């Protein structure tokens, strides 16, 4: 009960207030209801920068989440194999990135991908490129660096979920498949993966949710640049609230759009993924 009360006060009431705020406009702290009420929402459809951040966020989502989950799954099954040595070392090493402070890792990534950074030195040294690549200065490569950062940081995190789930799979099912003559891949695909399905669903929803709310990488690695090409929706939300002339009504509308997107995607994933009942 106290927990429910806390959630009500800390979460649902502000949620309702934010919704009311999203229907209001005004300069500074003087708000009046917008005319028409939903004008903050219609405004979003005319906002070129918002559309760009929406597009950026979905690029991150569509490229990063599938790669991350597949790699995490593969790593988990490799680490779960009985013959692997130094198992806990590998597990720790792969999980460690997500224990690293966001700012610290962003700084390291920025240094590595600087014009005179490690990656350029390496590529130049191997004669793969003639001139340094301006990694964070070009929209395509800057997005690539952000996706790489996300992969580096979150793959291990998801892997741990899969590992936990793998421990719970009855080994006899895999033995049975082997006895029936299935090769390693077939065993993995037809026996292991179906049993991991609830966990895959959970990680997919969590990652989707996390990516839609992506802020840190966009802020710390590129500041959304060049020319808004790498800015995420949440980063834009922050800009609208605190860096530009504050427009909290509009910002609340933006946050509700993110909420609705998360809810829709989670719902679709549940529909597609969960066929048990």
Tell which positions 223-242 bind another protein, by CB under 8 A: 225-228, 234, 238, 241-242
18 binds another protein (CB under 8 A): yes
Name the H helices within the chain. Answer: 2-7, 13-21, 39-46, 48-79, 87-95, 102-112, 118-125, 139-168, 171-179, 184-187, 193-212, 216-217, 233-238, 248-273
Return the residue of 6, 8, 15, 96 that touches another protein, per CB under 8 A: 15
Q: 101 near 93, Cβ under 8 Å?
A: no
Class of residue 131 by CB neighbours under 10 A (exposed 0-12, middle 13-18, buried 19+): exposed
The CB-of-116 to another protein minimum distance in angstroms stands at 8
User: Which string of x and - marks every residue 69-108 that binds another protein (by CB under 8 A)?
Assistant: ----------------------------------------
CA gap 65, 210 in Å, rounded = 10
Return the residue of 35, 46, 130, 170 that touches another protein, per CB under 8 A: 46
Q: What are the tokens at 52?
A: 């760009």
The CB-of-11 to another protein minimum distance in angstroms stands at 5
The CB-of-189 to another protein minimum distance in angstroms stands at 26
| Helix pair 139-168, 87-95: axis angle to 10 deg | 140
Return the residue of 40, 56, 207, 213 that touches another protein, per CB under 8 A: 213
Residues in contact with another protein by the rule CB under 8 A:
7, 10-12, 14-15, 17-18, 27-29, 43, 46-49, 110, 114-116, 134-137, 205-206, 209, 213, 225-228, 234, 238, 241-246, 248, 252, 255, 258-259, 262-263, 266-267, 270, 277
């Amino acid at each position: 009960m106290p927990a429910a009360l806390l959630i009500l006060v800390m979460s649902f009431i502000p949620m309702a207030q934010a919704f009311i705020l999203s229907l209001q406009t005004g300069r500074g702290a003087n708000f009046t209801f917008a005319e028409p009420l939903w004008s903050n929402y219609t405004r979003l459809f005319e906002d070129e920068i918002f559309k760009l951040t929406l597009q950026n966020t979905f690029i991150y989502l569509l490229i990063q989440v599938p790669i991350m989950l597949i790699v995490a799954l593969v790593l988990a099954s490799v680490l779960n194999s009985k013959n692997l040595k130094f198992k806990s070392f590998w597990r720790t090493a792969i999980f460690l990135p997500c224990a690293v402070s966001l700012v610290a890792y962003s700084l390291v990534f920025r240094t590595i991908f600087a014009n005179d950074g490690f990656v350029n030195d390496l590529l130049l040294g191997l004669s793969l490129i003639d001139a340094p690549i301006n990694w964070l200065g070009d929209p395509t490569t800057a997005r690539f660096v952000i996706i790489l950062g996300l992969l580096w940081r979150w793959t291990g995190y998801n892997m741990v979920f899969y590992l936990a789930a793998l421990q719970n799979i009855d080994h006899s099912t895999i033995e049975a498949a082997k006895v029936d003559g299935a090769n390693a891949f077939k065993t993995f695909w037809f026996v292991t993966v179906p049993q991991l399905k609830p966990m895959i669903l959970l990680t997919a929803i969590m990652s989707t949710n996390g990516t839609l709310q992506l802020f840190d990488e966009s802020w710390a690695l590129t500041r959304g640049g060049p020319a808004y090409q790498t800015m995420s929706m949440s980063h834009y939300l922050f800009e609208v609230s605190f860096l530009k002339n504050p427009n909290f009504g509009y910002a609340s509308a933006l946050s509700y759009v993110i909420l609705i997107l998360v809810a829709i995607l989670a719902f679709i994933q549940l529909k597609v993924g969960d066929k048990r009942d």
